[in-house]
Amino acid sequence: MNSYRIKEIICVVVLLVFIIVLVGQNRQSNADAKDVFKSVVAAVDTDGLKVCKAEKFKEQFGFEKSDFEGVYYMASDSIMDVREILVVRCGDNAPADALLDKVQSRADDKYGLFKQYDPTASALLKKYVAEKKGGFVFFAVCDDVAAAKRAFHKAL
């Protein structure tokens, strides 16, 4: 075999691997939003947090709960407690990208507010996790975001 043929084969293999990885990342999860939420909540300290109603979700993120297939949001009543967990199962026509953008900009804005006077809260906000995966939007500000993220991925 000449070197051109070997390069051609390598290119085809790399392209196939790339396509497989892309398809795997975009796969939709069949997981129930409530089960995913329970898994995340079980993995982190949620003392002082409570499950919020649809009105609080709309107030914080600007979207109706009915825009999505399942919304589970947990936060504190205290404005000084920045911890929160959001698990949203998006439907086909749900504004998932817009929600993810809102979540990220909201966390960044809160960080800007807290960095001047509450180092503990700003440290939590600095390491938040927000992502879209498997038809879900996930957002967490908590003491152990790595554990929350692992639980989210495992539940999918």
Question: 62-79 pLDDT, tens per residue?
Answer: 999 999 999 999 999 998
pLDDT at 128: 96
pLDDT at 19: 67
Cα four-point dihedral sign 59, 96, 92, 153: negative
Run of H or E including 66? none
Helix (H, G, I), strand (E, B) or coil at 136: strand
Torsion of CA 142, 107, 136, 40, to 10 degrees: 10
Question: What residues contact 88, with CB distance under 8 A and at least 6 apart?
Answer: 33, 68, 70, 71, 72, 94, 96, 99, 136, 137, 138
Model confidence pLDDT, tens digit, residues 13-61? 777 776 666 555 556 778 899 999 999 999 999 999 999 999 999 999 9
